[in-house]
Every structure is written in C-alpha cells, then in structure tokens.
C-alpha cells in the first residue's frame, strides 16, 4: 500500500510476474483495498469522517484518503520542527566511510519527515530551502557545520535551496576534513615513533636506561631515598647526655652528674629529692618578691 501511495505500481507488477502475466491468475490473487479493510472500521470511517455510504466507496477513494492522512500533520498540531529534526536526524560518526555517512544522513532525514507526516512543510519554493537549512543546522561535527554554513551563506547560495547541490557540498567538505584528520593522525604517529627512536638511541650510547626517579644533586638534603644515613628500625638511637654538671653536684651523692643519672638513688628517692628542690626554689622566689615589695 505504501508503494501505491508513492505513485508506484511495483506491487502489481510483482504479482503479475509471479503469475506469468496471466490476467486470470492475477485477478484471482489480487484483493481490493476495500475488501482488505475491517468492515466495522470502514463503516466507522464512512460515517464519522468521510460522510459517504459504504456501498459507494471505491478503492481509488480509499487510496486518496490514505494519501491525505499520510501527508497530514499528526493530531493537527505544529511541533517544534527544528528541534525534533536536530534531535532525531544525526550524522553517524561511527561510520568510517565518509560517503556512506553523508548518504545515510540524507536518507535518515527523508525517513524522519515521512514518519512525522511533514511532507507538506518541505514542498514548493519555500519548503526546499527550509529542509536545506535544517540539514545544515543538524550537521556534525561542528567544524563541518560551520564550514558548510559559511559557504552556503557567502559562496554557493544554490545549495541553500537545492538539496542535491547541498549533498555534493557536504560530501566534498566532509571528505576534505577526513583527509586532513588522517594526515594529522599519521603525523602524530611519526612524531611519537621518532621520539621513541631517539630515546632508545640515547640509552644505547650512555649504556644506562632512563630512570623515572630524580637524581640527587649536591646541596640536597639527604632523604630516605638518597644517600642519607640509614637507621635500622630495631636499632635504638644513642641517648644524648648533657656535658654540663649541676651546680653543687647531684642532689643525692653530690657527684658531678645530674640526679636523673645517679646510680645510688632509687626512683622514689629521685622523685622526692626533685620535689624538695622545687619547694625550696618556690620559697626563695617568694622571699625575693616580699623583699622587693618592702
């Protein structure tokens, strides 16, 4: 039925070929459009939409109404055509063949327009430029879109309203950009290979592979990673001893060492002697303060 609506008779021709062009067999196989309809549905259309008796309906009448339905807007509402077109008609960048990529882009645009019933929007002198504008605005990548838009605006204005000319322009610029991309890709590959070759050559001359660790220069502070002194975790650091001696000697034995290092005093004696020393020191401070106040 879709082929019939597009003005083609391919379906009938195929049936005739299968029947060896025998009119009798062809007539037996072919079923009229009216008979293929559900009888209740056809009666409802005739009563509520077409205002015609079912008996007066012909195949041509039904096909004409079907054409009108296909070319009409869904639900008689005008949608945001530009936004929907850009959202659904997208250049497939996964396709490596540039020519196929552009061709599928134009095919997808026609399919989407047919699905939405927008054929009436893009017919006539005003419809073709509108479709060309939507095709340019929906192009990807952006670099291709900007280049084609500039050419259509200032140079090739024919592509602004001729879909075939626009196809040729988009294909030409898409091929140019793809060649440029492949050329830059090869150039980057050569640069990387040359850098690796020089690195390998440098290693063979020096006899040492490159290291990713920083070399310690003179004047750097020694760290755990360079030539600083290492201390085993199980080894205790030597204790620092005071080289000075307390005035008056040890509080316990009056020797030339501090009380903490005295071998004669026990732990409790050391605490008691230190407490007494602090008490005397505090008393002396109090006496000095009293003398100043007097």
For every residue of 28-43, which 3-state class applies, written as one string? HHCCCHHHHCCHHHHH
Q: pLDDT: is 112 or 212 the higher one?
A: 112
Average pLDDT over the chain, rounded to an integer: 78
- Is the pTM for the entire model greater than 0.75? no
Per cent of the chain over pLDDT 90 is 29
Hunting for tokens 């602090």 — which residue is that?
278
Q: Which residues contact 85 (CB under 8 A, 6 or more apart)?
A: 109, 112, 134, 138
* Stretch among 140-144, 184-188, 227-231, 267-271 having the lowest mean pLDDT: 227-231
Q: What is the pLDDT of residue 153?
A: 94
Cβ-contact 256, 249 below 8 angstroms: yes
Q: Say how many Å lie between the first and final Cα of the chain, rounded.
A: 126
Q: What is the pLDDT of residue 166?
A: 96
Cβ-contact 98, 176 below 8 angstroms: no
Tell me the pLDDT tens digit for each residue of 101-159.
999 999 999 999 988 888 888 888 889 999 999 999 999 999 999 999 999 999 999 99
Q: pLDDT: is 170 or 261 the higher one?
A: 170
Tokens of 279: 């008490």
Give the CA diameter of the chain: 147
Q: pLDDT: is 287 or 95 the higher one?
A: 95
* Reported confidence tier of residue 34, pLDDT bands at 50, 70, 90: confident
Q: What is the pLDDT of residue 164?
A: 95
Q: What is the pLDDT of residue 290?
A: 64
Q: pLDDT: is 87 or 282 the higher one?
A: 87
Cβ-contact 88, 114 below 8 angstroms: no
**Helix axis angle, 124-137 to 98-116, nearest 10°:** 130
Tell me the pLDDT tens digit for each residue of 224-247.
555 555 555 555 555 555 557 777
Distance CA 139, CA 237 (A): 74
Q: What is the pLDDT of residue 249?
A: 80
Residue 22: CA atoms inside 13 Å, Cβ hemisphere, count?
Answer: 7
Average pLDDT over residues 198-217: 60
The four Cα atoms 36, 40, 43, 44 give a dihedral, to 10 degrees, of: -120
Q: What Å distances lie between residue 22 and 31, 81, 111, CA to CA?
A: 16, 48, 36
Cβ-contact 89, 102 below 8 angstroms: no
């Amino acid at each position: 039925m879709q082929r019939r609506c597009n003005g083609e008779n391919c379906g009938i021709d195929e049936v005739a070929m299968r029947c060896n062009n025998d009119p009798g067999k062809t007539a037996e196989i072919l079923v009229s459009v009216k008979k293929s309809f559900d009888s209740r549905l056809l009666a409802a259309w005739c009563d509520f939409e077409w205002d015609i008796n079912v008996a007066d309906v012909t195949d041509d009448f039904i096909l004409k109404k079907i054409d009108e339905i296909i070319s009409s807007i869904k639900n008689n509402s005008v949608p945001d055509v530009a936004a929907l077109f850009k959202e659904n008609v997208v250049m497939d960048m996964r396709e490596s063949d540039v020519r196929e990529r552009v061709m599928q882009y134009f095919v997808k645009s026609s399919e989407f327009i047919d699905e939405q019933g927008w054929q009436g929007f893009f017919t006539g002198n005003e419809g073709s430029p509108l479709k060309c504008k939507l095709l340019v605005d929906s192009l990807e990548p952006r670099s291709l879109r900007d280049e084609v838009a500039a050419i259509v605006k200032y140079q090739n204005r024919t592509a602004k309203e001729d879909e075939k000319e626009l196809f040729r322009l988009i294909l030409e610029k898409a091929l140019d950009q793809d060649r440029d991309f492949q050329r830059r890709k090869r150039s980057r590959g050569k640069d990387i290979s040359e850098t690796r070759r020089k690195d390998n050559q440098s290693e063979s001359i020096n006899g040492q592979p490159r290291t990713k660790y920083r070399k310690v220069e003179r004047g750097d502070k020694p760290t755990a990673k360079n030539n600083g002194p290492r201390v085993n975790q199980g080894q205790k650091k030597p204790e620092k001893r005071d080289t000075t001696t307390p005035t008056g000697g040890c509080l316990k034995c009056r020797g030339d060492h501090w009380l903490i290092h005295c071998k004669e005093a026990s732990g409790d004696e050391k605490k008691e002697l230190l407490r007494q020393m602090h008490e005397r020191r505090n008393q002396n401070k109090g006496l000095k303060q009293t003398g100043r106040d007097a």
